[in-house]
Structure 1
Amino acid sequence: MSLHAEVLATETLDDFTVIPVIDLKDGLVVHARAGKRAEYRPIATPYGPPHDPAAIARALLGITFSPTLYVADLDAIRGRGNNFAICRELADAFPATALWIDAGFSDITDCAFWLPLGATLVIGSESLASLEAWRDIRQSFARNLVLSLDFDHTGFRGPPALMADPSLWPDRLILMGLGRVGTEIGPDLTRLAATLRIAPDREVYVAGGVRDLSDIERVSQSGARGVLAATALHSGAISQKEIAALLRERRFRS
């Protein structure tokens, strides 16, 4: 049995997950860095050309053994069109993979446009039109969404009441360090610990700054459900064998 098949054969719903991220802009996979979206450039990676998102996604899924692929449509987030056709191609190419789509959803109308993909909607707090819009989205799509709590150097980006009241949060959360994305400066473990203290019953994922296996291990040991990663996968700082060993160790302990 191959390494990939061996890891997948023992996978359970309770496993920690390293979720690979694909960032799309102008029809290309780009390198997201420090939240400066206007400056993102086509990615340089050994896993395929930037105009072939499916090839890159296939490689990253193989490295991480992830049942989930996160796709950020930066054009949609910035209100400059969308990459819906590419996302549909990814959904068709990986039917057994859960697709998480971040497309700058601000209200129910935005969400409805993407529903034909059958994807999980990632609702970024920075994009929400209002707290009322979030309430409407949650009521309509509660079983099919993840809330991303977005932070930059100034703090929380989104309706202040949403951050202040954990009862408004759904079962799945992403702690998104926008300024850390692509920088490999390390994830925000302090914010993670604080979030887990006030919302211990939520599934929490960390995004932004992951450098290497030691960062992933720290997040894993904290009680989080996973990390989102891109730059460290493309650079080879995190390898398939390292992730496989980490997942095996967690399963052995459980």
Structure 2
Amino acid sequence: MQVIPVLDLLDGHVVRAVRGERTRYLPVRSALAATSAPLPVARALLAASGARTLYVADLGAILLRGAHVEALAALRAALPGGEIWLDAGYADYASMQALFERIEQHVQPIRRDRDNSHDDPRTADPATLVPVFGTESLRDAQALRSAEAAGLAPILSLDHRAGRRLDAGVELAPAAWPGRVIAMTLDQVGSYDGPDFATFERIRAAAPAHTGVIGAGGVRHRDDVAAAVQAGASAWLVASALHDGRLGASLAGFA
């Protein structure tokens, strides 16, 4: 199982989640980095987790306050060889495609600057962007099929609050789920209340055999990570426990 670090972006900063109550999010204070700037925090999270994948929630885009295009481009350019799972509040495939194109336009100058500086050519290929469609924002069920047809391997986030699914207008039956879904319980995010295994197990029981289910939120310590492995999670999204150094120096035993 992978532990995947989470980066929440708001107003140019990495912020610390508080039970999905976004008005309470403040710039992160982390034991891993002496800043809330996206790039150093991202590098520190990846180093602490040993992951090659970073989950980014662009809360500016989700809240319709503007996407962090330049920051996302900088993350792509600076994290070669990995993946960035990006939830930016896509309502449909067209909005996702438009954001990806804007990010790519900002990546190209960064790559040209690196080419001109004669840096190691292995750093030239940016991280792969993977779209995460959250049910709290998605308004077009066809978006997932369109992303799959484009070879983007989309992820569906089944967003929940207070035990109920958040749906912006699309009800997707399990048969329409892509190869990876996230059991996202916003109440647990940044809570230290423990993972919501009840919601995770309900989604896993409903998922088609080919669909991997990823958990999110609530991890307090290594025992929670071990429990997630036993529950059958293919990955778990973690932020606070990494920032606070609660998972120890190595997570290799959970891979």
Amino acid at match of 2:39: A
1:26 paired with 2:32, answer no
Poorly superposed stretches of 4+, deviation over 3 Å: none
More deviation in 187-196 or 44-53?
44-53
Matches within 5 A, 1:155-194: 155-158=164-167, 162=171, 165-194=173-202
Structure 2: how far apart are the matches of 1:48 and 1:168? Answer: 40
Contact residue 96 and residue 131 of structure 2 kept, 8 A: yes
1:206 paired with 2:212, answer no
Match of 2:147 among 119, 141, 145: 141
Match of 1:246 among 222, 246, 254: 254
More deviation in 50-59 or 21-30?
50-59
Contact residue 15 and residue 25 of structure 2 kept, 8 A: yes
Amino acid at match of 1:36: E
- SS of 1:127 mapped into structure 2: coil
Q: TM-score, normalised by structure 2?
A: 0.84
- SS of 1:48 mapped into structure 2: coil
Partner of 1:251: none
Structure 1: how far apart are the matches of 2:13 and 2:43? Answer: 15
Query: For residues 202 and 74 of structure 1, do their structure 2 counterparts lie closer, same or farther at Cα, with a shift above 3 Å needed?
Result: same
Structure 2: how far apart are the matches of 1:204 and 1:50? Answer: 32
Contact residue 4 and residue 53 of structure 2 kept, 8 A: yes
Partner of 1:95: 80
Structure 1: how far apart are the matches of 2:86 and 2:72? Answer: 8
- SS of 1:194 mapped into structure 2: helix
Match of 1:230 among 219, 236, 239: 239
Contact residue 24 and residue 74 of structure 1 kept, 8 A: yes
Matches within 5 A, 1:18-97: 18-97=3-82
Amino acid at match of 1:139: R
1:196 paired with 2:196, answer no
Q: TM-score, normalised by structure 1?
A: 0.84
How many angstroms does 1:174 deviate by? Answer: 0.5
Amino acid at match of 1:198: A
Structure 2: how far apart are the matches of 1:100 and 1:238? Answer: 22
How many angstroms does 1:51 deviate by? Answer: 4.1
Query: For residues 40 and 52 of structure 1, do their structure 2 counterparts lie closer, same or farther at Cα, with a shift above 3 Å needed?
Result: same
Q: Provide the aligned C-alpha RMSD in A.
A: 1.6
More deviation in 46-55 or 205-214?
46-55
How many angstroms does 1:109 deviate by? Answer: 2.4
Structure 2: how far apart are the matches of 1:57 and 1:148? Answer: 21
Query: For residues 154 and 205 of structure 1, do their structure 2 counterparts lie closer, same or farther at Cα, with a shift above 3 Å needed?
Result: closer
Long gaps (5+) in structure 2: 105-127
Partner of 2:96: 111
How many angstroms does 1:154 deviate by? Answer: 4.9
Amino acid at match of 1:20: P
Structure 2: how far apart are the matches of 1:246 and 1:101? Answer: 24
Query: For residues 42 and 159 of structure 1, do their structure 2 counterparts lie closer, same or farther at Cα, with a shift above 3 Å needed?
Result: closer
Structure 2: how far apart are the matches of 1:184 and 1:205? Answer: 18
Match of 2:229 among 200, 220, 232: 220
Amino acid at match of 1:225: S
How many angstroms does 1:201 deviate by? Answer: 2.6
Query: For residues 65 and 220 of structure 1, do their structure 2 counterparts lie closer, same or farther at Cα, with a shift above 3 Å needed?
Result: same
Which deviations, in whole Å up to 9, do the C-alpha atoms of 1:159-210 show, x marking residues without a partner? 57635x2011111101101111100111111122222222243111101111
How many angstroms does 1:128 deviate by? Answer: 1.3
